[in-house]
């Protein structure tokens, strides 16, 4: 039996994560692998524009110039392997820059590059196939900035088998980086779906950096040492179980609740989380504290993957300008509304005089009024607010006019209009996302090490669908009525943890019972109908609830809740980060007997 433990550190959750992450993990983590996740859809469009201006650009420069520059010698000395999707749209240029850094430090480094995700040159082919956006059903836009398939772990496995110490990819699934390391180390095959699901879960838990070690935790006041928060480490066994922890002496908190929140983050249906290597079922996953800041995770299950890759394209769709105007004094909200009306009336008149069309979108928020809570706001009087006014137009000149007409309000309109945050705003291009599915057979992943190339075969998906994982169900869930007639109203926060994030134009909200005794109350009161009504001022589509019995949780998916979502959304919370915080404020009626009864740990 293979009793080896493979230790993998997650040093980056996005392009812009802390420069302290890699040194912290390398110095104190005793690692076998160091992984970096940099890519998001907006990142791909930025990198595409950069490469169009400079053929040597198009990758996450921070990976080379900041992260690896700070740890490269120690990485080489300790034999740590590095896996990163920092290559963006130009992984070869990224590899060349890293090789130059190694040579400047007198270090020998074997770097592999994974290619095959870029689909930009094949758009005419996809257009001829009439591909449609998987969310909206719209056809592929005429002008596309980037288009990349989400590759899986197998090309990275091939690179490691060819002896690479550093593997640089373009677009791949975030969790594929740790999964590839585990497939390589333990010899997991592409058909061992339960193991692939476990490795994917390990990758999912560390792909957002310290979100698994206390970052964004519901009970944030319990988390000490934010300034030195520990980045995650997974200690993985050949059977797929692993312990999630962090470097000793760092801040943060690793507990079943912090890890559970991250497991539910942005996964949609926990029984059918789709990845290129495996369809994951996390509903039976168990999390157990096995020491201070150490949580054992086990129980992931898997099935054969889809025969398709998800391809994400980005395209420009006009221009956006965002104004943030501070107003102070009595009736501040009404002042903000009058200021918004005046700016729009004046600039619309000026646009018409110049022969320009009206704005294609106008979106106004008054921050400080609990506007995000809609009808659940408890703010009656506002004496200090920020007017956030967003306008969009196909012509940049129209937004330059809008931006220029903001400052005159400082002498024209409301008393207490103190500033335009950041000065005159600049119009920026609106980048939108278009996602579609394409057969894996239309892509050929390749691994390059210097001038040698290996093509990577992707196993055919079984013609007969594998048997679905048996459903995981809750044990008996007593409702409030069964426990006792006397009830009291408390915020959901009192009995649950929560974490939310975006899924395209949808919001994912994970709700975890603080103790199993609350599951019946949650199922009884936190219904699909009630959640949809609570967010009725945002949600335009269907709301679904999924059971996650393994960690005593429910996962909600709110479709059409983000006004376009991500880059397309004009809201101040375009990624749905605050939805869990708002839901945790919902009043829940609970039996007094349950509030008074001690927990099993007491």
Annotate 201-232 with three-state secondary structure.
HHHHHHCCHHHHCCCCCCCHHHCCCHHHECCC
Q: Which of 387, 386, 385, 402 is nearest to 320 (CA)?
A: 402
User: Do residues 202 and 249 make contact, with C-beta atoms less than 8 angstroms apart?
Assistant: no
Per 3-state DSSP, the chain is made up of helix, strand and coil in percentages (nearest 5) of 35, 25, 40
As given in the structure block, the two tokens for residue 101 are 């850094």
- Both tokens of residue 421? 């945050």
Low-confidence ranges of the chain (pLDDT < 50): 600-602
Residue 97 tokens read as 């820059």
CB 88 within 8 A of CB 59: yes
- 550 near 285, Cβ under 8 Å? yes
Over its C-alpha atoms, the chain yields an Rg (Å, rounded) of 25
Distance CA 461, CA 53 (A): 40
Which residue ranges form the domains of the chain, and what is each CATH number?
6-116+151-303 (no CATH), 315-432 (3.30.70), 480-596 (no CATH)
Nearest to 244 by CA among 222, 267, 225, 263: 263
HEC string of 495-519?
CEEEEEEEECCEEEEEEEECCHHHH
Strands 233-236 and 587-591, how do they pair? unpaired
pLDDT of amino acid 401:
98
Please report the pLDDT score of residue 138 as a whole number: 94
Torsion of Cα atoms, 79 then 80 then 83 then 88, to 10°:
-80
Two tokens at 195? 């193991």
Place of tokens 């959304």: 569
DSSP 3-state of 29: coil
Report the distance separating Cα 305 and Cα 273, nearest Å.
10
Number of H helices, E strands in the chain: 18, 26
- Name the DSSP letter for residue 251: B
65 DSSP 8-state letter:
I
CB distance 199 to 301 below 8 Å: no
Kindly list the strands in the beta sheet with 506-513, ordered across the sheet, starting from the edge strand earlier in the chain.
496-503, 506-513, 553-558, 543-548
Q: What is the pLDDT of residue 600?
A: 43
Q: Measuring CA to CA, which residue among 490, 492, 340 is closest to residue 402?
A: 340
d(CA 305, CA 319): 39
Among residues 346, 421, 358, 570, which one has the least CA distance to residue 338?
A: 346
Query: What is the rounded CA–CA span in Å between residue 48 and residue 145?
Result: 7
pLDDT at residue 602, rounded to an integer: 36
d(CA 259, CA 554): 15
Cα(126)–Cα(132) distance, integer angstroms: 9
Write the DSSP string, 403-420: HHTTTTHHHHS-TTEEEE
Beta pairing partners, 148: 118, 312
Residues whose CB falls within 8 Å of the CB of residue 406, separated by 6 or more in sequence, listed in order: 323, 325, 343, 420, 424, 425
Rounded CA separation 114/4 (Å): 28
Helices (H), 54-89: 61-62, 69-78
């Amino acid at each position: 039996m293979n009793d080896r433990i493979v230790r993998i550190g997650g040093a980056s959750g996005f392009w812009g994560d802390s420069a302290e992450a890699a040194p912290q993990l390398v110095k104190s983590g005793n690692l076998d692998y160091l992984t970096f996740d940099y890519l998001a859809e907006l990142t791909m469009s930025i990198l595409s524009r950069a490469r169009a201006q400079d053929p040597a650009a198009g990758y996450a420069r921070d990976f080379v110039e900041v992260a690896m520059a700070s740890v490269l010698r120690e990485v080489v000395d300790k034999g740590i392997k590095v896996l990163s999707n920092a290559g963006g749209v130009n992984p070869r240029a990224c590899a060349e820059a890293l090789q130059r850094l190694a040579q400047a430090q007198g270090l020998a480094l074997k770097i592999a590059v994974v290619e095959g995700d870029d689909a930009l040159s094949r758009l005419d082919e996809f257009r001829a196939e009439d591909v449609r956006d998987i969310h909206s059903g719209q056809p592929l836009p005429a002008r596309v900035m980037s288009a990349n398939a989400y590759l899986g772990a197998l090309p990275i496995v091939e690179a490691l088998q060819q002896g690479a110490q550093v593997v640089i990819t373009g677009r791949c699934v975030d969790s594929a980086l740790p999964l590839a390391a585990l497939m390589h180390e333990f010899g997991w095959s592409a058909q061992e779906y339960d193991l692939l699901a476990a490795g994917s879960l390990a990758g999912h838990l560390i792909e957002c950096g310290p979100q698994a070690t206390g970052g964004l935790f519901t009970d944030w006041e319990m988390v000490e040492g934010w300034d030195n928060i520990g980045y995650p480490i997974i200690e993985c066994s050949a059977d797929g179980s692993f312990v999630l922890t962090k470097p000793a002496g760092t801040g943060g908190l690793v507990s079943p609740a912090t890890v559970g929140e991250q497991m539910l983050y942005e996964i949609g249906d926990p029984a059918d989380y789709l990845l290129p290597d495996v369809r994951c079922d996390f509903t039976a996953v168990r999390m157990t504290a096995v020491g201070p800041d150490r949580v054992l995770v086990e129980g992931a299950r898997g099935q054969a993957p889809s025969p398709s890759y998800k391809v994400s394209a980005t395209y420009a769709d006009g221009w956006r300008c965002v104004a943030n105007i501070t107003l102070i004094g009595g009736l501040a909200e009404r002042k903000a509304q009058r200021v918004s009306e005046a700016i729009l009336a004046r600039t619309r008149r000026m646009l018409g005089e110049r022969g320009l069309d009206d704005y294609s979108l106008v979106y106004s928020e008054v921050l400080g009024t609990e506007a995000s809570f809609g009808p659940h706001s408890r703010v009656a009087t506002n004496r200090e607010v920020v007017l956030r006014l967003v306008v969009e137009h196909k012509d940049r000149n129209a937004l330059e006019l809008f931006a220029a007409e903001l400052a005159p309000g400082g002498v024209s309109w409301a008393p207490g209009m103190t500033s335009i945050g950041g000065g005159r705003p600049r119009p920026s291009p609106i980048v939108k996302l278009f996602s579609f599915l394409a057969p894996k057979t239309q892509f050929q992943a390749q691994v390059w090490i210097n001038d040698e190339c290996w093509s990577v075969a992707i196993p055919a998906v079984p013609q007969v669908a594998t048997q679905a994982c048996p459903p995981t169900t809750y044990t008996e869930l007593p409702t409030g009525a069964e426990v006792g007639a006397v009830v009291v109203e408390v915020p959901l926060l009192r009995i649950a943890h929560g974490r939310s994030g975006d899924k395209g134009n949808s919001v994912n909200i994970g709700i975890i019972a603080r103790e199993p005794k609350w599951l019946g109350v949650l199922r009884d009161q936190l219904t699909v109908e009630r959640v949809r009504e609570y967010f009725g001022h945002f949600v335009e589509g269907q709301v679904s609830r999924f059971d996650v019995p393994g960690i005593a949780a429910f996962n909600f998916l709110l479709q059409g809740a983000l006004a376009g979502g991500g880059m397309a959304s004009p809201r101040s919370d375009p990624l749905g980060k605050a939805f869990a915080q708002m839901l945790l404020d919902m009043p829940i009626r609970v039996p007094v007997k349950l509030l008074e009864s001690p927990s099993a740990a007491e």
